[in-house]
Amino acid sequence: MNSSVINYYDNNIELFYNGDKNCAVNNSIRNGRKWEKNILTMYEKILNKESVVLDIGANLGTHTVPLSILCKEVIAFEPQKKIYNLLKKTIEFNNIDNVILYNNIVSSNANEDKLLEFLNTDCGRAGLKQYRPRLDGIISYEKSMTIDSLKLVKCDFIKIDVEGSEFEVLSGGHETIEKYKPVILLETWNTKRNLMKLHLFSTKYNYRFSYISSNNYILTKK
């Protein structure tokens, strides 16, 4: 089992990762670098010690861990069992006590409690098979759940990185989003179709969205 120490907000954290040298997230951890450092800097500006946040598509915890330092509670989801176990090891090894982990897919109401076809890559490219049809990996069938099924009493921020199924995730969280109007960090492929979906969602829930970098957008209530 591989691990590296990374400093998040003046806290040295040992992150565990697998040996895949073709995975950018693994290589970042291996070299002791913060993944998506610009986003971590943004977190300091919009979150605080009272924040309750969701990390959907947590992968190895490169967002989960820094969020746990800044916030009151982090609820993190990672469907890939090998990656989930590495993330769990990181949480336990570093005695992080404000993270709740789920080894589940997060999807829409239509898929709640269903077993969905999931493509495991042991890396960050994993996702529902229907959205990653040409990617090599191992197929498994994983149970899905929705954001709304959590019945949260507070939600300040949602990070979604799910390789194509992000609008299903949003659909399954419509009650939570309507009630709490959390800030949303969304990764979506920069296509005309996806940008139209983003515009329609923002209009429906009275949000504005701004481009950050790569395929990442930040959504805030108007």
pLDDT in tens, 3-13: 999 999 999 99
Q: Are 88 and 58 in contact (CB under 8 A)?
A: no
- Span 148-161, mean pLDDT? 98
- Span 11-34, mean pLDDT? 90
Q: Which DSSP symbol is given to 155?
A: -
59: left (phi over 0), alpha (psi -120 to 50) or beta: left
**pLDDT the model gives residue 136:** 84
Q: What is the pTM of this model?
A: 0.95
Rounded CA-CA distance 65/74 in Å is 9
Domain ranges (residues) in the chain: 35-221
Minimal CA–CA distance to 116: which of 151, 158, 168? 168
Q: What is the CATH number of domain 35-221?
A: 3.40.50.150
Question: What is the end-to-end Cα distance of the chain in Å, rounded?
Answer: 45
Let me know if 139 is exposed, middle or buried by CB neighbors in 10 A (0-12, 13-18, 19+). Answer: exposed
Q: How distant, in Å, are the alpha carbons of 65, 67, 147, 159, 171 from that of 43?
A: 12, 8, 21, 11, 24
Q: How confident is the model at residue 67 (pLDDT cuts 50, 70, 90)?
A: very high
Q: How confident is the model at residue 88 (pLDDT cuts 50, 70, 90)?
A: very high
3-state secondary structure 88-136: HHHHHHCCCCCEEEECCEECCHHHCCCEEEEEECCCCCCEEHHHCCCCC
- State the chain's mean pLDDT as an integer: 94
Q: How confident is the model at residue 198 (pLDDT cuts 50, 70, 90)?
A: very high
Q: At 21, which amino acid appears?
A: K
**pLDDT the model gives residue 22:** 77
**pLDDT the model gives residue 135:** 82
Q: Are 107 and 116 in contact (CB under 8 A)?
A: yes
Rounded CA-CA distance 61/68 in Å is 10
On the CB side of 154, CA atoms within 13 Å amount to 9
